[in-house]
Amino acid sequence: MNTILVTGATGTLGRPLMRELSARHLDARGLSRRAPGHAHADLLTGEGLAAALDGVGLVIHAATDGRRDVRAAENLLGAMRPGQHILYVSIVGVDRVPLPYYRQKYEIETMVRSRGGSILRATQFHDLVFTMARALTAAPVGLYPSCSVQPVEVGEVATRLAEVAATLAADPSPVVEDFGGPEVRHGRDVIRAYTKAAGRRRVLLPLRVPGRIFRAYRDGGHLAPDRALGTRTWEDYLAGRFASGS
């Protein structure tokens, strides 16, 4: 029962997480629907799950398809055996920002808590903020969200998860932690830093969306300023990203 099963092992977080676990000589098995080198299972149908869970003591649940995550979590939790612990990767503010995706994640957190599992919530990964920045500045007049963000380096989230996993392997008692990026930055600064690094000259206008979801973002529901544990800044990330030519 020493094996750690990582769902979403092929994802943005799962890839560095698998590397972190292996660097710590922890016995990690990745789960994917079809990627070579991983245990094959589909969380939505449950197919392959029983075999993937054989000999597993801890499941780090980092899979998502954005829409049907509650059903996937029900199947995963239903297939887990007594004594198997779960560490669920969630997002800061899932209980405060009424985005449908966040609501799903909050429901899963409740399921995980009710079986004594652990949760680690992170703020937005640099990669996601980068994708948004690129989209918002694609046109000659760019947009910036009129709210703050606290982007975090996914590799640092992976490192923290691996540390928590090593602790849980010795003592599987519930843990709930937030992991935030090093700086809370206004959307305007984040987009300006992006256009500068990308060499895109843009007039930037504020993007404000009416409604409760955007208000919750403006109120900082997705931020964890008191848990600013990451060290790699947005500018560090941009420098690395543009140096690698991607």
Ligand X SMILES: NC(=O)c1ccc[n+]([C@@H]2O[C@H](COP(=O)([O-])OP(=O)(O)OC[C@H]3O[C@@H](n4cnc5c(N)ncnc54)[C@H](OP(=O)(O)O)[C@@H]3O)[C@@H](O)[C@H]2O)c1
Binding mask 49-88 for ligand X (x = CB under 6 A): -------------xxxx------x----------------
Q: Measuring CA to CA, how many Å separate 128 from each of 13, 101, 140, 237?
A: 11, 15, 21, 12
Task: Give 205's Cβ-side CA count (13 Å radius).
Answer: 7
Residue 203 CB, nearest approach to ligand X (Å): 27
The residue from 4, 14, 21, 156 that contacts ligand X (CB under 6 A) is 14
The residue from 18, 28, 32, 84 that contacts ligand X (CB under 6 A) is 32
Q: Which stretch binds ligand X (CB under 6 A): 35-43, 50-58, 188-196, 216-224?
A: 35-43
Contact flag: residue 150 with ligand X (CB under 6 A): no
User: Which residues in the 86-145 window bind ligand X by CB under 6 A?
Assistant: 89, 91, 122, 124-125, 128
Residue 110 CB, nearest approach to ligand X (Å): 15
223 Cβ partners below 8 Å, 6+ apart?
A: 92, 93, 123, 148, 149, 150, 180, 184
Q: Give the C-alpha separation, 12 to 109, whole Å.
A: 21
Of residues 25 and 34, the one with the C-beta less far from ligand X: 34
Contact flag: residue 10 with ligand X (CB under 6 A): yes
